[in-house]
Structure 1
Amino acid sequence: MRSLADLIRRSLRLPVFLPLLALSLVATWFGLKPSQVHFAALTDGQSFVDVQPGLTVASLIVQAGSYTPEAVHYYLQWSGFDFAWPLLTFTAMMFIAGWLFRFLPSRRQGLFTLVVAVGYAAVLMDWGENVGFVWVVLHPEPPPLSVAGLAVSLHTAKLFFLAVFNLACVAVLFWAAGRKLMKSPA
């Protein structure tokens, strides 16, 4: 993780960051808007299980079992996209975190490696959740309860890691802003 954190720090340049950010924003827009609208039309208003915070094994099994062949086909296509989306988004977020960490004292710089580890752990959890969800969607009868349980656990853990990562970034931002305000003349 240290080498990945160092690579991100060395790459903190606008010609690298701006295209990455643009791709991440476009992917997020597609993942949260037009693809969701189309999927909802195919499933009588359901959203992708991947973006449901309160997902349970029971609700996953019920939803996956209700998908029409057309909805299953679209979900599989979208799942391919959903493997790239978290990697793009988290890499862009790592660039933002790397930039924010420049405002911390040198003794705190080592924490960036931990932030990178937490961020990419969430990506790995997302990928594991994706594999589990696809398996459940492709095998509705009989429902694979153990796979569904693992997928929902990874989904919940991913959401927790996302919350920790986002709170850490906000805390660093407020800390840096507070230090800047305390140093500026009144």
Structure 2
Amino acid sequence: MVSRLEMVFPDDWQSMLNVYKDFIYSTGSQPVNENLLLILLEIGVRFGERLSRLHPDGFVEIGCGLAIPSLTLAKLGHTNGRAVDIDPKILSYAEDMRDHLGCDLEFQCRDVFEDRPELQKGELLIAEKPASYKKNILEVEYNIRNWCVIEGHNLAVIPLIYGYRYPDLLLSEM
């Protein structure tokens, strides 16, 4: 069976996997099973595909890491997007992946809890709890939801279960 990763990125999925592996090794972590990385890539691609069905005017992914949902959106033609993370190291890997894929996606390095990005009316905000953020996930989700409700934006939250993205997505249209 062909994965969504292979369908959306037929010529590039292997290089995406290699970038993911390179990033993991650069952190000094123990080697990670390639199948786990493929599953994580697959989850990100499927999430990006589901978000593309919302036909956003634009999008901002915060706590993006390697920005797989954003890269998927960009690959599917949603070019008015930004991906934001506090970690410049992971952003350099995400930028390398973007450049290899030829996607139109802007990256920004910032702490969104100290320096929130400007959101345009109708932009989709894609959020997950940053790995380095010390607060409770419910508090993070509450703050992000309030930000979106007050400013009238759409929101998609990727909850974390045991440190991994949970594939059943919480999507709410504000």
> What is the TM-score of this pair, normalised by structure 1?
0.28
More helix by share: 1
Which protein shows a greater Rg? 1
> What is the TM-score of this pair, normalised by structure 2?
0.29
Greater relative contact order structure (CA < 8 Å, 6+ sep): 1
